[in-house]
Every structure is written in structure tokens, then in C-alpha cells.
Structure 1
Amino acid sequence: AQRHAVLAAALADAARRTGSADGPLPVRLGGWRNVPSQPQAKRFRHEPGGWELEVRYRLHRGALTAEGHPDVALVSAAADRVVLDIAGVRRAFAVTAYAEQVFVDAPWATLALTALPRFGDPRERAVPGSLLAPMPGTVVRAGEFVPGDRVGAGQPLLWLEAMKMEHVITAPVTGTLTELNADIGRQVEVGAVLAVVKEESGP
């Protein structure tokens, strides 16, 4: 069941990239290889579980072939809604995407995913000590700190409101706050650098 939701997320992403938000999924998708025998691969990370999920599929003349899904056929796909025929039963999936964050409302549950880049994630090259936004949100509160201040490990630096919940962004290590992007009301995307803490060197 979870794998069907991931497949729906991948097909919605393909439709979104072609700009067909309201229409059916075209036979030729942006980003697809010219050789139809080669499958398209899309990777996601399950949130908050952290495990990676990959889906591989082909679309040829409107017919979907998804590896590991011999009983699945494509009925329709748009950027915000995908309908699959699963073993003869039609299932609709509502898909909402905020940058890399993807939420799939399946008939049985809601799945939160992070789309993983095909050619490596530039956030992996972030400055050590960077605190990245875990999801899209708004900065609603900040601690009484300015760059140059010493902060302790676990000390709250700012508060981010996302998905109607407040998330506390804390210092990962004890050290010096070298960067703070915490203007109240600022809207941030997934992976935005909120702050940077340079760890104290040993004695």
C-alpha cells in the first residue's frame, strides 16, 4: 500500500514537471530518457522514518509499467491527483508538494515524503553546523541571540511554524553562532539555512 502512494507521488511529480497540472499525464514526460526501454527512477525519503524508497517505471503510449507493481495500471495523473487501477480497483491519491516535501493522501493513510535529487543533494555540502529547515514554514519566534554569541548544545535558537505545528530549532553543538537567518515572519523552504553554529574546539 505504501509503495502505491510512492508511485503516485512520482507520477504527480512527472505531471508537474510537464506543466500539466489539470490535464492528463502526457505520453512523453519531461526528464524521460529517449529510449523507452529504460525506466524512469524517482527516490523519496519517508518522513519521519528516514528510510529511502525508490520507484522505477515506464510510460509507453499511455500504458504504465511499474517495477514491482504488476497489478497496477494508470487511469489518470495530474500534479495534484493520481488515479491508479490496483488489481481492478480504482484508487485516488491526492498529492501536495512544497519544494521537495511531498504529502500523499491515500485512501488508507497520509504519507509524508521528501523527494531526493537524482544527481546528489547540494544541501549535503552545507557548511558544518548548519541548521536547515526540515520543511516549509514561517519563522515565528527567535531567541535573544546575535551572530558571535556563544550557544550551548540543545539551546533553542528559533521557532518554525509548519503544518500548523511549532518546531523548535536548537543548536546541535556548543559553540559560536556565526549566522542567524531568523527574521520574524520569514517564510522558508525545505533545506533553507536558518542558522550556523561553529563547534568549539577542544582544550
Structure 2
Amino acid sequence: MDASTIPTPAAPAAAPADFESLLAPIVDRAYGMALRLAGNRDDAQDLVQESALLAFRGFHTFRPGTNFRAWFLRILVNCFYMSRRRKRPEQSLEGMEEEAPLLHLYVQTYHNGMHGAGRDPAREVMDRIEGEDVARALHSLPEEFRVVCTLYFMEDLSYQEIAGVVGVPVGTVRSRLHRGRKLLQKRLWQAALDAGLAATTVAVEEDE
């Protein structure tokens, strides 16, 4: 069974006593995920607490031996979507800055001596700037792109695992990640410039 598959109630039930031992090692990373999604510490703490409560109540559906972190992250993502719907409608793409060409960040890192051979340029920049700058860049994305980009870049989940967490087909994950990556590029590069990690921005032709 794929690690990201969420087990059904028919699967062998986990013992409630195991819940805390499984949650403790991942709670800090879950909070980091919640902070990038929610954008502030209070909402992130509320999100993790609500997710933990729902996870505990539904722990009988977790199948021992499968990926607890992916199982818990799916609950956290669902809680995030529900909390956003309660507060205000989902962010619209209208009025957002124009997407950067697909190779924008690749060209910028290359011309500024920051390009790591074989590395994703977005990861290259994220590794060099402050975590708060990364969080702000991710939080600026519309929710559907923010979730998949955070799971991919910060949680290192595969497309298949993200599909299991978010509950959408792998093709949808790929599409959202592609669009989110294009929206992220200018934000990440501006953060690199502000941090003094780069000196110049070069022109990049639009991709087809």
C-alpha cells in the first residue's frame, strides 16, 4: 500500500495509547506546516490543536505500520480548508502579480552564482534565505497552490503522497505545483535580493 494512503475503518485499529508516541516526533514539523498555511502563530497553534483532537478521535481509522505523518497532515490540511471557509472566501487569483516565466529563478540563480548543479532553483533560494521569508512567500499564494507547494518544498512529499494528503489526483497536484512555482519565483528572488544574497536581476523571456 502506498505510504500516503489513508486507511479505511475496516483496517486493523491502532491502540489509543500509541497516539501520543506517534504524534510527538512530528508535532514540530506539523506546526511549521500550519504556520506556513495560516500565516500567524495563533492560528497555527489553533490549527495543530484542532487537528490533533480530530486525529485522536479518529485514530481507530489509522492502520499501524503506514505513514502516520501523511495521515495526520491530511487531517491538518482539511482543518485548514474548513477554518478558511469559516473566516472568508478563498483568495482569488485576480489582482495577483503576473506570473514569472518558468525559468525565471533558474536564470537568476545562474547569473548570480547561486545555481547548484542538479538542484531545483527554488529549493536553492529557500535554503539560503530566512525561514520567515520563505513562510511569507508561501503564504502569499492562493490556498490551492500554497498547500501543494508547502507539502512539496517544506515537507519533501512526493506527488503521490501530496495527492493522498490533499485528496486530489496526481495530475492536479502537478498542475497546482507548476502554477504555484511560477507564482513563487519573483517572491523568492526578491527575498534573496533583500537579504543581500544576490546583486542583480536579469531579463528573462516569457515561456510559451
Taking structure 2 as the reference length, the TM-score comes to 0.24
Relative to total residues, which structure has the larger helix share, 1 or 2? 2
Relative to total residues, which structure has the larger strand share, 1 or 2? 1
> Of the two structures, which has the highest relative contact order with CA contacts closer than 8 Å and spacing of 6 or more?
2
Answer with 1 or 2: which has the greater Rg: 1
